[in-house]
Amino acid sequence: MELIDTIEAIDNLLPQTQCGDCGHPGCRPYAEAIAKGEPINRCPPGGDKTIVALAAFLQRDILPLDGITKPKTVAFIREEECIGCTKCIDACPVDAILGAAKHMHTVIIDECTGCNLCVDPCPVDCIDMLPAISDQLDKPMHYKTRLLARNSRLQRIAEQREKLRASRKQKLESKTTETLKPKSKLDEVRDAIARAKAKKSALAPASSDRS
Ligand code: SF4
Ligand code: SF4
């Protein structure tokens, strides 16, 4: 099996909460580390179930969990305290938060992975992690689909911004080049004729007055 396929298969055995409790910035980076030999027991949300699945797939020993299993939770925004800063939206890896700038925000409970990543960025501390209903967090492939969709959306936006920035830069450069470009002899002659014509037409009414 190619390394990339192994990483993908390992990633699919992780809970896709993207919480970072394994010490990596998301499930995929931990999958990459496992493929390179990192222990398989560092995912607290996955717990024993994930360790057993990883051990079977990778033909490694089952290890005790290196971490503390926390009760499953989902985010809840105290909406009356929300100032609409959108920082939680930026932090949520699965687009589980709805809201617009300067308006109240809310969490789509069914989409929340319980990762906790929105809590710290909130400047008014109005996000609580509350106990989840038992099966609420057990849909890793659904979370992965949402994560990938969000990543492609962000990438598309970044590419569009980069294109816009490049085209503005190009326009500015061509304008500057145009201004600085030395005039050819022909242009100078044309300019001189235009100046002479303008002068002549400016004097024309005065000469007819005299006659
Ligand atoms: S709402 Fe908060 S806790 Fe839930 S998935 Fe998004 S960032 Fe994580
Ligand atoms: S980070 Fe907090 S205050 Fe800002 S929009 Fe989210 S919930 Fe509201």
pLDDT tens sequence for the chain (211 residues): 799 999 999 999 999 999 999 999 999 999 999 999 999 999 999 999 999 999 999 999 999 999 988 888 999 999 999 999 999 999 999 999 998 888 888 999 989 999 999 999 999 999 999 998 766 667 899 999 999 999 999 999 999 999 999 999 998 888 887 777 777 888 888 888 999 888 888 877 654 444 4
Give the mutation target among 76, 117, 150 for probing the ligand 1 site: most ligand atoms within 8 A of CB. 117
- For 73-140, give the CATH class: alpha beta
Cα separations in angstroms, 177 against 78, 120, 127, 166: 56, 49, 53, 16
pLDDT score, position 184: 80
Mutate to test the pocket of ligand 2, among 89, 124, 129 (most ligand atoms within 8 A of CB): 124
Atom of ligand 2 nearest to the CA of 125: 2
Of the listed ligands, the closest to the CA of 126 is: 2
| Residue whose C-alpha is closest to residue 67's, from 135, 21, 101, 116 | 21
110 contacts 15 by C-beta, under 8 angstroms: no
| Domain boundaries for CATH 1.10.15.40 within the chain | 3-58
Fold category of 3-58 in CATH: 3-methyladenine DNA Glycosylase II; Chain A, domain 3 (1.10.15)
Ligand 1 geometric centre to CA of 127 (Å): 10
Output the pLDDT for position 176: 80
| Whole-number pLDDT of residue 135 | 63
**Residue range(s) of every CATH 3.30.70.20 domain in the chain:** 73-140
Look at residues 43, 41, 38, 50 and name the one whose alpha carbon lies nearest to residue 26: 43
**Alpha-carbon distance 109 to 105, whole Å?**
12
Q: What residues does 131 pair with on adjacent strands?
A: 73
CA-based nearest residue to 46, from 68, 15, 19, 17: 15
Cα of 128 to ligand 1 centre, how many Å? 10
Minimal-distance CA residue to ligand 2 atom 1: 122
How many Å apart are CA 107 and CA 177, to the nearest integer? 52
The protein residue whose alpha carbon is closest to atom 7 in ligand 2 is 82
Contact 28, 125 (CB under 8 A): no
By the 8 A CB rule, do 17 and 45 touch? yes
Kindly report the protein residue whose alpha carbon is nearest to atom 8 of ligand 1: 115
* Residue 129 CA to ligand 1 centre (angstroms): 9
Nearest residue (by CA) to ligand 1, atom 5, is 112
Distance between CA atoms of residues 162 and 160, nearest Å: 5
Q: What is the pLDDT of residue 128?
A: 97
Pocket residues for ligand 1 (CB within 6 Å)? 75, 91-92, 94, 96-97, 107, 112-118
Please report which helix (H) or strand (E) contains residue 131, including its range.
strand 127-131
| Closest to 74 in 3D by CA, of 137, 144, 146, 150 | 137
Measure 101 CA to ligand 2 centroid, in angstroms: 10
pTM of the model: 0.77
d(CA 56, CA 133): 29
How many other C-beta atoms lie within 10 A of the C-beta of residue 153? 11
